[in-house]
Structure formats: C-alpha cells, structure tokens
A and B are shown apart, each in its own frame.
Chain A
Amino acid sequence: MAEKNKDTVSHWVGNKNLSLELYRQLYTIRRAEEKIIDHYGENEMRTPMHMSMGSEAINVGLCQALKKDDQVFGTYRSHALYLAKTSNLYNFFAEMYGKDTALLKGKGGSMHLSDPDKGFMGTSAIVASAISVAVGAAFANKVKGNGKVVATFFGDGATDEGTFWESLNVASLMKIPILFVCEDNGIAVHTRAHERQGYKDITQVIGKFKCKVFKDNSTNVESIYNLAVQALDSVRSTGAPCFMHLKYYRYLEHVGVNEDFDVGYRSQEEFESWYKKDPIKMQRETLKRIGISEDKILALENKISREIETTIHKVKNEQFAEEDEIYKEVFK
C-alpha cells in the first residue's frame, strides 16, 4: 500500500508551470462555485446544487494526471470533476441555467453533466450506480486496446452499496484497467461513517482484492497529483485496477449553497480545522514558496474572476430550447 507523507514542499511537482496550472484550475472551480452561491438566489439556476467545495484538490490532481483521452465518471456532486476534466466553463454555466446552447440544453442540470467528447462520460445521482458502468467502459477500452484509462469518482457513501463491492470484484477478477477514486468526506448526506460502516479501515479490506490501493489524507493538490501519477502508472503498466482513497471535508450542506454547522451533525470547529488546510489556500502558499510573486497570482485570479463573470453574463442572455426538445434523444 502506497502512502504519501504530508510534507508540502517535498512533494512539489518540480515544475512552476504545472504548479500554476494546478492553481489556475483550483481557483477557477472555487470561484465558479462562489459565483453559483452569489447568483443562486436569483432563482435562474433551477437545479439542486450539490457543491464540490472542499474537494477541489482531488479532482484537479487526478484530472491533471489523466491523459486527455482518458475517461471519467462522476456523481451528482461533480462540479469540480467536470471543470477539472473539461475546462468547459461556458457549458458548465449554460447547463446550470438550462440554456439552449448547453450540450444537454438543460436536460441534465447540476447533477447530470455530460461531455463525452472531452472524456466526461456522465454521472449518476443514485449513489454508486455509475461505478459498474465505468467498469464496463474500461472493459471496452481493454478489448479495443486503445490505451484509455477510466477513472470513476464516488463518495464514501457509495462504498456502503453492494454494487461498489460487486464492481470492485468484477474489475479485480477480470483484470480491468480502471482507477477507483473514493472521495471520502466521512458523511453520507448527514450520516457519519461510523454510523454506517462495520469495518475498521476500507483500504485494508480493499487490499485483499487483486487491486492496488493508494491513499492520501492531505488536501495538497501536488501531493494528490503525484500519487495519481503513480496510481495511473500502475493501471497502465499492469492493466489491473487500482483504488485511491482520498480524504476531504465537504464545506457546504449536502444539497444547497449554504453552510449547515448549526444543525447538529457536525461542528464549526471541525470545519475550521479543515479550512486551515484548504486546498486553494495551500496551493497559493506553494506558489509563493516556489517564487511566484503575489502580483502574478493576483493577476491570474482577476483574470479568472473576469472570465467567470463574462461567462455568466453571456449565458444569462442565451435562449431556452424549444419545448419539443423534451421529446428528443430518448431513442436513436
């Protein structure tokens, strides 16, 4: 079992441009979600929001390590994964606003983003239901010998579901090149892991399968990127599945754009302890430590913020699809 130590600098990717790119993505995703919070009350984005905030380092680190042609499957909480894999900011907001110019013309919304040309193969809002689909997609890649790797993302709640274990079993049995990525925030909706799980350590259980396990408890994108490179090398070189267990903290309520530290299942203090190592703040510190100036960082941040504002403004002025769009694409 490979485990990273937590020293930030020793895990610097060693490439300033790459560090900047990781930060650009982290900041874009965080800023995009902050803008969702700003605009949600206008009631124009009429789609239940399951916010990624807190998980960005996982999604950015993984997608940076994946190749462009590799494929990902997500969940209803996939804002960060979508933007990290596709960088398609325009489509992201067009889908949130349900506009005609969105790839799905609003049929998917926040929970069902899809962009197969960019390797974002879809999501499921039924917990764990995309995992077996990802295994089948990876099987097809293996049969075709096209070298594409599939990464399937899911929360710790998904590991309660039978189909997660069945999928792990099938991928291990059939030696399918897939990366299982567990984004463990320790909470399924409002239920803590210790109330749901009858085992001590999931990575030890999974270690008994023919599936190599990688884990990291940090929120450092560079550390996660390095670990993802190792895991993907293993998938590519052996053709066998790997499992990554990555911890993070969900900043906002299960669904919606608000905090919920006052309702009883978790505390403000718990949040504060995680926020000290917020992935965006951490990477900003890394940039400064490797010699990137505050001015340069601010310029980048302003550019991203302007781009997001411009995108939202443009999307708001787009048309909705014709009503008969509802009937289209049920069948080929």
Chain B
Amino acid sequence: MRKITYCDALREAMVQEMEKDPAIFVYGIGVPDHKGIFGTTLGLQERFGPQRCFDTPLAEDTMTGFGLGAALNGLRPIHIHIRVDFLILAMNQLANMVSCYRYSSRGMLNIPLVIRAIIGRGWGQGFQHSKSLYSLFAHIPGLKVVLPTTPRDAKGLLIASLRDNNPILIFEHRWLYWQEGEVPEEPFVEPLGMSRVIRKGKDITIVAISWMNVEALKAAEILERRGVSVEIIDPRTIVPLDDGTIVDSVIKTGRCIVADYDWLHCGFSAEITTRIYEKCFGKLKQPVQRMGFAPTPCPTARHLENKFYPNAINIIRLVEQELNLSPIDLSCEEFYSHEKRFKGPF
C-alpha cells in the first residue's frame, strides 16, 4: 500500500471530506499562511476559497464560540491551534458552552465541531509551547478527545470526527507529523472508541498514548532481544474510551504500565490505572506502574527537557522493575531525538 506522512494524511482527510461536504470549513490563526500548520493546511485556501479556509484575529475563545455558533446552524467547522497551550484561551467556550450546548438544547441542536491542536515536545519550546493537557479536556462531559498516533489513524480518525455530530478535540503530537505509514487513498473511517493492539505480547501490557507508542515500540524491540514479550495498546480515543481491550490484555499478561504523555496527577494515567484495578484486581501479578511528564512546568535547556518528557529508556527500566530483571546496558542503543527524526514504519 501507498505510504504517506502523518501530516499528508491529515491534509488528505480534510481535502477529501471538504470536497464531499460543502458545510465543512477550516479556520484558525495562521491556517492559510505559507507554513500551513506544519503543512497540514497548505493549499486548502487555494482549493476551497477564502470562505472555507481563513485566518482569524487572535481571539481563541471568541473564535471557538464562533465555531459553536456555525455548527449549531448546520456548518461543520474545523478550528486549528498550532499549540494546545493556546487552546487554554478557549477554555471558557469549551467548558461552559461547547460541551453543554447539545445538553442545554436537550438534543435539539447538534454540534459538529472539530478542533485540532498540536501537543508535546518540540525543540526547547519551554513551558508555554510544550504541553499536552488532553486529560484536562477529557474531564469535561460533552467533549470527545482523540489522539491519533499512526498516519492511517490520523486520516481515519479525522474523517470519523468530521462525520460525527459532537464536539471533538484532536490532539496531534508534533513529532508524529513526519512519520510515514501505509494509508489507503480512498476516504475511510476509523471508528471512535476503539483501542488498537499495535504490538502483540504476553509478559506485560503497555498502554501508550500518542507519541509514547513510538517510545514503547522502541522499548519493546530492545526488550524482545532479552526475551521479554511486550504487548502495546494505543487507546486512540480517550473519550469515548474502550477500556475492554486494555482489560483483556492485562488479564492475559497480569502486568501493566501506562505510558502517558501528560502530567500524572488527576490525569489520564490515573483513570486507566483505576479502571485496571477495578476490573483486573485479582489478576495482577504486580502493581500497575505509570509514567508521564515530570510534575513541573517544562524547562527549556536540553538536559532538563530530556528529564521532563518520558521516553523509551524510562519504559525499559519500568518493565525491568515489573519483571524483577536487572537493568541492561543501553549504551549501544540508539534512541529518538529531535535531530534524528523518526519516520516509522508503523
């Protein structure tokens, strides 16, 4: 099958759906500029005109309300934020209006609003261009939260979101943009609310979110060489959440690590861990372990930034703990860094 990048998969999904459905429009700060949100919106304004692809004033909250209003009157907006950190400016609309509006009309109004935001590590981005925060949004009833990892899922989950009639937040890790993978050319849907087993194994389950799947796959490859069989599950959507696939896996392996890409306290990893304790209590051979961001703002200097974000080495060390293995020498292993762009395959 044809291979394209995650970035191209997102753009292709938008182009194909916009051609099919004239109600879809895409907007946000910098959307039609020469950089085009890391390339995902390049060419859309030329193709669909300035009424269906446009830039906006720097007014994130107001432009979110604008999307809500357009959606309840039958359009299908895609609002894009080049950093999730900017989406916080729209928290009033998201938490007080967008999430409640269908409920507050008792279903008389539909809210087909898609919001895309870029998350995670860049390159010395500091504490205001570096976060993930998806747990914060997932806490609020009425918002769906989607985190595609592979190029295939980027296309299929975005198309599913564009055909859904609810408010949906899609969080895309910046480093995933240039990874390549097999993606069907025709439009297709990856249903929301289905976890995917991205690697089969029998000794331990790793529930990994977004970029952490890349780190988990690297860790699994190294661990396999010393005879440890790792199963990796990508929940893909955390609202709605398919915990059944996770529970089945943990019942099989008896061990679980949640590789989160957000802060731990009151976060997604806490939710997953709780559900595993609720549903797999008697089957666990070890306590569930979890990892995520350091409980600090994100620092800029490289050696401190390395400490802030979780990675494959952290995963390997935690797996060793869970299996009572001594730490292996990793000095000859090559790990991902911004200078060595990961390009797949998945």
Contacts from A to B (Cβ < 8 Å)? 71, 103-105, 107-108, 112, 114, 116-117, 121-122, 124, 126, 129-141, 143-144, 162-163, 166-167, 169-170, 173, 328-332
Chain B residues with Cβ under 8 A from A107's Cβ? 103-104, 106
Q: What are some 18 contacts across the A-B interface (CB < 8 A)?
A: A104-B104, A104-B105, A107-B104, A107-B106, A114-B109, A116-B105, A116-B109, A121-B109, A124-B96, A133-B69, A135-B65, A135-B69, A136-B67, A136-B69, A139-B75, A173-B57, A331-B102, A332-B107
Are B70 and A136 in contact, CB atoms less than 8 angstroms apart? yes
Are B69 and A132 in contact, CB atoms less than 8 angstroms apart? yes
Are B107 and A328 in contact, CB atoms less than 8 angstroms apart? yes
Give the CA-CA distance A135 to B77 in the complex, in Å.
14
Indicate the member of A130, A131, A139 with the most B CB atoms within 10 Å.
A139
- Complex interface residues of chain B between 24 and 45 (CB less than 8 A to chain A): 25
Give how many A-B residue pairs fall within 8 Å (CB-CB). Answer: 139
Are B106 and A114 in contact, CB atoms less than 8 angstroms apart? yes
Are B102 and A170 in contact, CB atoms less than 8 angstroms apart? no
- Complex interface residues of chain B between 61 and 114 (CB less than 8 A to chain A): 61-75, 77, 92-93, 96-97, 101-110
Are B106 and A143 in contact, CB atoms less than 8 angstroms apart? no
A104 touching B106 in the complex, CB below 8 Å, given contacts A144-B74, A170-B62: yes
Contacts from B to A (Cβ < 8 Å)? 25, 51, 56-57, 59, 61-75, 77, 92-93, 96-97, 101-110, 141-142, 144, 164-166
Out of B104, B108, B165, name the residue touching A117 (CB < 8 Å).
B108
Are A170 and B69 in contact, CB atoms less than 8 angstroms apart? no
Give the CA-CA distance A136 to B102 in the complex, in Å.
16
Are B141 and A330 in contact, CB atoms less than 8 angstroms apart? yes
Chain A residues with Cβ under 8 A from B110's Cβ? 332
Are B68 and A143 in contact, CB atoms less than 8 angstroms apart? no
- Of chain A, the residue at the smallest CB distance from B100 is A112
Chain A residues with Cβ under 8 A from B97's Cβ? 124, 126, 129-130, 133
- Of chain B, the residue at the smallest CB distance from A108 is B104
* Leading 5 A-B pairs by shortest Cβ distance: A136-B69, A132-B65, A140-B73, A136-B66, A137-B69
Are A132 and B106 in contact, CB atoms less than 8 angstroms apart? no
Are B69 and A134 in contact, CB atoms less than 8 angstroms apart? yes
Chain A residues with Cβ under 8 A from B92's Cβ? 126, 129, 163
Give the CA-CA distance A140 to B25 in the complex, in Å.
11
Give the CA-CA distance A116 to B71 in the complex, in Å.
13
Chain B residues with Cβ under 8 A from A329's Cβ? 102-103, 105-107
A140 touching B68 in the complex, CB below 8 Å, given contacts A116-B105, A170-B56, A329-B106: no
Chain A residues with Cβ under 8 A from B96's Cβ? 124, 126, 129
Give the CA-CA distance A237 to B83 in the complex, in Å.
40
Are A132 and B63 in contact, CB atoms less than 8 angstroms apart? yes
Are B108 and A136 in contact, CB atoms less than 8 angstroms apart? no
Within the complex, what minimum Cβ distance (angstroms) separates A190 from chain B? 23
Chain B residues with Cβ under 8 A from A134's Cβ? 69
Indicate the member of A134, A166, A173 with the most B CB atoms within 10 Å.
A166
Are A140 and B75 in contact, CB atoms less than 8 angstroms apart? yes
Chain A residues with Cβ under 8 A from B93's Cβ? 129, 132-133
Within the complex, what minimum Cβ distance (angstroms) separates A209 from chain B? 12
Within the complex, what minimum Cβ distance (angstroms) separates B182 from chain A? 31
Are A133 and B106 in contact, CB atoms less than 8 angstroms apart? no
Give the CA-CA distance A124 to B97 in the complex, in Å.
8
Chain A residues with Cβ under 8 A from B74's Cβ? 140, 144
Within the complex, what minimum Cβ distance (angstroms) separates B134 from chain A? 18
Give the CA-CA distance A80 to B92 in the complex, in Å.
26
Give the CA-CA distance A226 to B253 in the complex, in Å.
75
Out of B59, B66, B141, B166, name the residue touching A133 (CB < 8 Å).
B66
Chain B residues with Cβ under 8 A from A124's Cβ? 96-97
Within the complex, what minimum Cβ distance (angstroms) separates A99 from chain B? 13
- Of chain B, the residue at the smallest CB distance from A171 is B66
Chain B residues with Cβ under 8 A from A132's Cβ? 61-66, 68-69, 93
Give the CA-CA distance A121 to B102 in the complex, in Å.
11
- Of chain A, the residue at the smallest CB distance from B59 is A166
Are B72 and A137 in contact, CB atoms less than 8 angstroms apart? yes
Give the CA-CA distance A124 to B69 in the complex, in Å.
13
Are A169 and B105 in contact, CB atoms less than 8 angstroms apart? no
Are B102 and A332 in contact, CB atoms less than 8 angstroms apart? yes
Give the CA-CA distance A144 to B72 in the complex, in Å.
13
Indicate the member of B68, B93, B105, B109 with the most A CB atoms within 10 Å.
B105
Are A136 and B65 in contact, CB atoms less than 8 angstroms apart? yes
Give the CA-CA distance A329 to B111 in the complex, in Å.
12
Chain B residues with Cβ under 8 A from A169's Cβ? 57, 59
Chain B residues with Cβ under 8 A from A122's Cβ? 72, 101, 104-105, 109
Give the CA-CA distance A105 to B74 in the complex, in Å.
24
Are B70 and A140 in contact, CB atoms less than 8 angstroms apart? yes
- Of chain B, the residue at the smallest CB distance from A140 is B73
Chain B residues with Cβ under 8 A from A71's Cβ? 73
Apart from the given pairs A124-B97, A136-B71, A170-B62, 19 other A-B contacts in the complex at a CB distance below 8 Å:
A107-B106, A108-B104, A129-B96, A132-B66, A133-B66, A133-B72, A133-B101, A135-B62, A136-B66, A138-B69, A139-B70, A143-B25, A144-B74, A166-B62, A169-B59, A170-B56, A170-B63, A331-B144, A332-B165
Within the complex, what minimum Cβ distance (angstroms) separates A112 from chain B? 5
